[in-house]
Structure 1
Amino acid sequence: MNRPIGRLPRLAALLMGAGLAASLVTTTPGDDTTAQAPGPAPAPAAYAVTPAVSPFVQSGPRNIITRVQDTYISNLNGADHSGEQLLHVGTPDNGTTKYRSFLKFDVSKLRGADIKSASLRLYNSYTGSCDGWWMYADAVSAAWSQSTITWANQPAPSAGYQTSANFGLGQAACPDQPVDSDPDTSNAVKRLDVTAMVKAWTNGTLANNGLRLSAGESGSVAYKELCSMNPVATDPACRLAYYAPTLEVEFNPGAPVIAAADEYAVNYGGYPATSPAVEFYDSTKPSLWPTTGPYQRWVPDAYHSFKDPSGDLLRAPFAGGTEHKLRPAGAYETTGLGGKQVLVVGDGQSGLVAVVPYPALSGARFTINVGTNDLTNLHGVELLPDGTVAVALAKTGQVKLYTKAQGAVGNAPSAYATAADTAALVDAHSLLYDPETGSLWAVGATQLVRYPYTLGSGKLGTPEAFTLPLNANGYSSPYGHDLEPVYGNPDRMWVAANAGIVQFSKSGATPCYKPSRWPTSGTSADGKPNRWCTDYADEPLVNKGGMVKSVGNDPVSGRVITTCAGDPAACHAPATGADAWTTPAITFVDSTVNGTPSRHEEYWRETDAQYYRVRWMVPSYN
């Protein structure tokens, strides 16, 4: 991942800087300033940016909300039911046997957060009537223990917090239909709005003693069986962790999510104990990260309903993800929580490429393996609106496309053994789809390339290439690492490299170069002062040094986050024993520290985190 700033032979470097070296692609009209007249630059002020996504956390063993306990009680016995796979509410025999269930979640790490919404997610395994009947959730007024609670000693409900829902599934006439590959689309997944009680728990106005589930106790039509917090592998429905009772909370609205791929296998506790992960952070107060940690994590494991029956999808241990992006679901749109947005992930070490429902983060809608790090060195992934997934392979110097059909879940490796299309690009590192020009952009060692793309074709068009400005020393390659949209200006893209950070103008309509550390006036004087832009806000702070791995701006606040490793002028040194291309710090450029623009580093675990790329979770392409 870390590419040294090597010295090229002097003549070759000069030729490359002049745009005369051998092309890395078939054509390079972008390097010829007479090839086409630049079009008018779009007006940023008139451009409506898709808002970034607010934090959304689900209770679970990796998350800041945890499941504490659950059980059910009966009027006919005082047995301990806390280890069973089902919860019961209502009566199955018209009032002779009555059931109520109790659950508790730890929401202490959300204390003080601005709660927008909260839901209790349940899986309805059996019902007394397909017509659907009401069930109720109440906050309770006293503490209880799942192993000792009985009908006789059950706590009373707290007045004013009751919520309800009407549903019924699980009989032959209305069967539940679990979907292992995409659990949130299962018809038996139901939700109750518990916003009021969660707000009260987190702001301190109500003691968190958990909640009670109940239903009508005189007629069996209201009876329900629900999956508990104890999945059983042999159960036809209640075998997935996603079907366990789960508290879902959206909080701090307007504070976009930051996601980072962390190679460090921290001991999370729970299942499994250790694993690198894609980690999600609330951007409101990064200084609190050491206390809260990531609010949620994703790993391709059984807990997240990720199945790899043949062992092909993960050909080596998952390393946290080399690239991850939030995208509109497009061709993968479904009903359910993950219907509108998906997370596309690529992991260089294992070779895994997957499209995962977001924010459900359970199951997958596309899976392939492009080869492990020693074969391909996967660095970039991008999801196109037609469901095609593009990958950038640094070791083989290729951009490849795989269609939605090739990545259909359950396909054997032969389905994606040959890509739908392949283009050569030396040291291909990052990809960005651009709906404004109908193009896929890619960056490599010395070139930024635009490939026209017709949706549904699975084929790249004739490329247009732009030579990256030489490193500040005037003769070595810049080694492009990252492409991201400049949110708020659809004419611009961020380009990060070993040389530094610059913005690229797609139209080239307006002069945008100002003296900079990189590109220098010498390397920008190649006819491209309208392309390589250094006139953006706080450029000296953003473009402070080289060896940059990622960069991006928040469309809500304008804050910039970046990661770099290897340049002491700008980068935090990797953790002891960590890969040289990683850093334990996420660097911010904003005015939140002292009211004036500043560059500051934020950490979760300064001594051992191992980040490569960090992203704002924004679903729009530009």
Structure 2
Amino acid sequence: MIRHKGRLPRLASLLIGLGLAASLVTAPVGDETAAHAPTAPAPAAYAVTPAVSPFVQSGPRNIVTRVQDTYITNVDDADHSGGQLLHVGTPDNGTTKYRSFLQFDVSKLRGANIKSASLRLYNSFTGSCDGWWMYADPVAAAWSQSTITWANQPALSAGYQSSANFGIGHPTCPDQPVDSDPDTSNGIKRLDVTAVVKAWASGALANHGLRLSAGESGSVAYKDFCSMNPNATDFACHLAYYTPTLEVEFNPGASVIGAADEYAVNYGGYPATSSALEFYDSYAPSLWPATGPYQRWVPDAYHSFQDPYGDLLRAPFAGGTEHRLRPAGAYAAPGRSGQQVLVVGDGQSGLVAVVPYPALSGARFAINVGVSSITNLHGVELLPDGNVAVALSKTGQVKVYTKAQGAIGNAPSAYATAADTKTLDDAHSVLYDPDTNSLWAIGASQLVQYPYTSGTGKLGEPKTFTLPLNPNGSSLAYGHDLEPVYGNPDRMWVSSNAGVVQFSKSGATPCYASSRWPTSATAADGKANRWCTDYTREPLVNKGGMAKSVGNDPVSGTVITTCAGDPTACHAPVAGADSWTTPAITFVDSSGRHEEFWRETYAQYYRARWMVPSYN
């Protein structure tokens, strides 16, 4: 397998490199809708939203893991490591004193470029609502949570202290846990620990964890925090999100790749036997076999996913057939207009959810559209008004569900009937387009544009574009995927059983060049302004059929695809895996076409996405 060699070319060369400017010059010629074709937007005036950088939270199967935590006191030598709380300061003006210790394993970040790091805590009680300082210092020697005491506590490493001034949890300023969206809880507090995490990751400082402390002479500085041991009966400390957590943004500018992995064999850790939506750092995919995904998401109790009626997961979660990162829009929490959310649709279970990102805890929308044997959900899209569109291949439908239907806690009857339904044979993917205020969808033989009026939940009368036939000139292409061509708002990626092509929404200029697919014959009849093959490295991207997903990184220009079922172009599925999955994510960049694996013998991907919080 060919691996990446160094960093990739930047956005400065992307617009030219992808051949995007060439289609935006002359008037439309020979297209069936040319008389009504809009003028294509100019790339020079178009600002690409950059992809997000890797952001990991410490967790049982993430690349940063929690190791141990406890508190010590001057009044006893007991083992406090099993408790649900950590304490710092003094509750009785110095008679009883507390300090807490915690440790994280950051060894898999060795050599990474750390941009920022925070210690996230949940403050469940405070001695004063006015807020008082607390401190985090790196520990200079090894310790054990079961044997550390006030008398044998290790010394500290100087020069890396972090501090913060806050207070919450007092009867006059109570903490307010929000289980459906834990990061909005007022008890969530953060300390900047960038310097010490950088030192740990670089090897400049031995990692023996952190000591938390506060003033030990006055009770106003006293604080309680949730520990690494959630307790189901505790008012706040029952959620995993409220446990002490290290949050690290690293390798800035290396866009995140999300991939749904059906692999669910027990390989240890949490969740031991669950398919998961996995997140990968694109900086050095050659490291994936050693690091694995840097984080995972599963709709379960650990991720604060609630299913009060037992209806949202009607079958085991299969990793998420579709997922996209979007601006939170209608789901933004108060004061957090820049938030992002992940919209996820899972064909096997029928779950559709909108999840806070990067918290990946809780949900702001959740419904079930039917399990695979009934609807076979393949596509999902979050509309800016908070409504959600889905593509159902088995029933051949595009549906829209309203924000109100997906409100957390709704009974199944609330979303039993969609706000609108359109028929599209073998519907596989949906993509919202803000430039035309429309929802695009793709099926077996058609690419369809539905006008959409915000807030209505209703789709207008469609404009239909027939997909070019397979290279044989007789069989249908069977569309699979739609994605923006980041860097050119006039283009969309289209993948199908026949291969990969770009589609021009405006049809403003000829963009067809000789290609394996569409062939000159199947792209004829005036459609050479629509089915664009003039992008850089097209023969490598469009190498063969059965392309399940495709997309380009707005930072580097790299294209990723997944494909299955074509032995000439795709890596074979692993033994026993579904035939539509692959263990490889295929990269096409300046070094050529190459496959990257986490576990070549286990991973079972369907779609892989660049995590870009933008519609185009």
Query: Do they fold alike, i.e. is TM over 0.5?
Result: yes
In structure 1, the partner of 2:220 is 221
Query: Structure 1 residues 614 and 34, CA, compared in 2 at 3 Å: closer, same or farther?
Result: closer
Query: Structure 1 residues 138 and 63, CA, compared in 2 at 3 Å: closer, same or farther?
Result: same
The answer as to whether partners of 1:182 and 1:363 remain within 8 angstroms in 2 is yes
In structure 2, the partner of 1:424 is 423
1:599 matches 2:593: yes
In structure 2, the partner of 1:611 is 605
Runs (4+) off by over 4 Å: 335-339
1:200 matches 2:199: yes
Query: Structure 1 residues 31 and 353, CA, compared in 2 at 3 Å: closer, same or farther?
Result: farther
In structure 1, the partner of 2:542 is 543
In structure 1, the partner of 2:368 is 369
In structure 2, the partner of 1:7 is none
Map residues 3-42 of structure 1 onto 2, 5 A cutoff. 33-34=32-33, 36-42=35-41
Residue 337 (structure 1) shift = 8.6
One-letter amino acid of the structure 2 residue matched with residue 279 of structure 1: E
1:589 matches 2:583: no
One-letter amino acid of the structure 2 residue matched with residue 185 of structure 1: T
SS at match of 2:197: helix
Q: Deviations over 1:303-332 (max 9, x none)?
A: 000011221000000011100000000000
Query: Structure 1 residues 167 and 34, CA, compared in 2 at 3 Å: closer, same or farther?
Result: closer
SS at match of 1:213: strand
One-letter amino acid of the structure 1 residue matched with residue 467 of structure 2: L
1:135 matches 2:134: yes
Q: Deviations over 1:252-285 (max 9, x none)?
A: 0000000000000143533432100000000001
Unaligned runs of 5+ residues in structure 1 are 1-29, 592-596
Query: TM-score normalized by structure 2?
Result: 0.94
In structure 1, the partner of 2:156 is 157
CA distance in 1 between counterparts of 2:265 and 2:478 reads: 31
The answer as to whether partners of 2:551 and 2:559 remain within 8 angstroms in 1 is yes
SS at match of 1:478: coil
In structure 2, the partner of 1:557 is 556
CA distance in 1 between counterparts of 2:565 and 2:386 reads: 36
| Number of residue pairs matched by the alignment | 588
One-letter amino acid of the structure 1 residue matched with residue 366 of structure 2: T
One-letter amino acid of the structure 2 residue matched with residue 469 of structure 1: P
In structure 2, the partner of 1:324 is 323
The answer as to whether partners of 1:338 and 1:357 remain within 8 angstroms in 2 is no
Residue 32 (structure 1) shift = 6.8
Which is worse superposed, 147-156 or 99-108?
147-156
1:284 matches 2:254: no
Residue 35 (structure 1) shift = 6.5
Unaligned runs of 5+ residues in structure 2 are 1-28
The answer as to whether partners of 1:271 and 1:303 remain within 8 angstroms in 2 is no
In structure 2, the partner of 1:448 is 447
In structure 2, the partner of 1:45 is 44
One-letter amino acid of the structure 1 residue matched with residue 511 of structure 2: C
CA distance in 2 between counterparts of 1:479 and 1:435 reads: 25
The answer as to whether partners of 1:339 and 1:357 remain within 8 angstroms in 2 is no
CA distance in 1 between counterparts of 2:440 and 2:54 reads: 29
One-letter amino acid of the structure 1 residue matched with residue 595 of structure 2: E
CA distance in 2 between counterparts of 1:34 and 1:49 reads: 28
One-letter amino acid of the structure 2 residue matched with residue 281 of structure 1: Y
Q: Deviations over 1:8-38 (max 9, x none)?
A: xxxxxxxxxxxxxxxxxxxxxx997156332
The answer as to whether partners of 2:34 and 2:507 remain within 8 angstroms in 1 is no
Residue 395 (structure 1) shift = 0.5
SS at match of 1:138: strand
Matched-pair identity in %: 83
Map residues 357-506 of structure 1 onto 2, 5 A cutoff. 357-506=356-505
SS at match of 1:287: helix
Residue 62 (structure 1) shift = 1.8
CA distance in 1 between counterparts of 2:233 and 2:30 reads: 62
Query: TM-score normalized by structure 1?
Result: 0.93
Map residues 76-87 of structure 1 onto 2, 5 A cutoff. 76-87=75-86
SS at match of 2:560: strand
In structure 1, the partner of 2:16 is none
Residue 335 (structure 1) shift = 5.2
The answer as to whether partners of 2:31 and 2:507 remain within 8 angstroms in 1 is no
The answer as to whether partners of 2:275 and 2:318 remain within 8 angstroms in 1 is yes
Query: Structure 1 residues 444 and 34, CA, compared in 2 at 3 Å: closer, same or farther?
Result: closer
CA distance in 2 between counterparts of 1:255 and 1:84 reads: 39
Residue 600 (structure 1) shift = 0.3
Residue 170 (structure 1) shift = 1.1
In structure 2, the partner of 1:570 is 569
CA distance in 1 between counterparts of 2:335 and 2:36 reads: 47
The answer as to whether partners of 2:345 and 2:377 remain within 8 angstroms in 1 is yes
Residue 169 (structure 1) shift = 1.1
CA distance in 2 between counterparts of 1:32 and 1:399 reads: 26
CA distance in 2 between counterparts of 1:307 and 1:332 reads: 17
SS at match of 1:414: helix
CA distance in 2 between counterparts of 1:469 and 1:272 reads: 43
One-letter amino acid of the structure 2 residue matched with residue 39 of structure 1: P
Query: Structure 1 residues 354 and 34, CA, compared in 2 at 3 Å: closer, same or farther?
Result: closer
SS at match of 1:290: helix
In structure 2, the partner of 1:16 is none
CA distance in 2 between counterparts of 1:89 and 1:474 reads: 73
Map residues 221-260 of structure 1 onto 2, 5 A cutoff. 221-260=220-259
1:621 matches 2:615: yes
RMSD (Å), alpha carbons: 1.3
Query: Structure 1 residues 140 and 335, CA, compared in 2 at 3 Å: closer, same or farther?
Result: farther
CA distance in 1 between counterparts of 2:547 and 2:422 reads: 25
Q: Deviations over 1:554-604 (max 9, x none)?
A: 00000000000011111000000100000000000012xxxxx41100000
Residue 40 (structure 1) shift = 2.2
SS at match of 1:36: helix
The answer as to whether partners of 1:367 and 1:407 remain within 8 angstroms in 2 is yes
Map residues 64-213 of structure 1 onto 2, 5 A cutoff. 64-213=63-212
One-letter amino acid of the structure 1 residue matched with residue 125 of structure 2: Y
The answer as to whether partners of 2:31 and 2:529 remain within 8 angstroms in 1 is no
1:262 matches 2:256: no
One-letter amino acid of the structure 2 residue matched with residue 289 of structure 1: W
CA distance in 2 between counterparts of 1:336 and 1:137 reads: 28
Map residues 529-540 of structure 1 onto 2, 5 A cutoff. 529-540=528-539
One-letter amino acid of the structure 2 residue matched with residue 603 of structure 1: F
Q: Deviations over 1:520-544 (max 9, x none)?
A: 0000112110000000010000000
The answer as to whether partners of 1:563 and 1:587 remain within 8 angstroms in 2 is yes
In structure 2, the partner of 1:8 is none
CA distance in 1 between counterparts of 2:30 and 2:413 reads: 39
One-letter amino acid of the structure 1 residue matched with residue 609 of structure 2: R
In structure 2, the partner of 1:15 is none
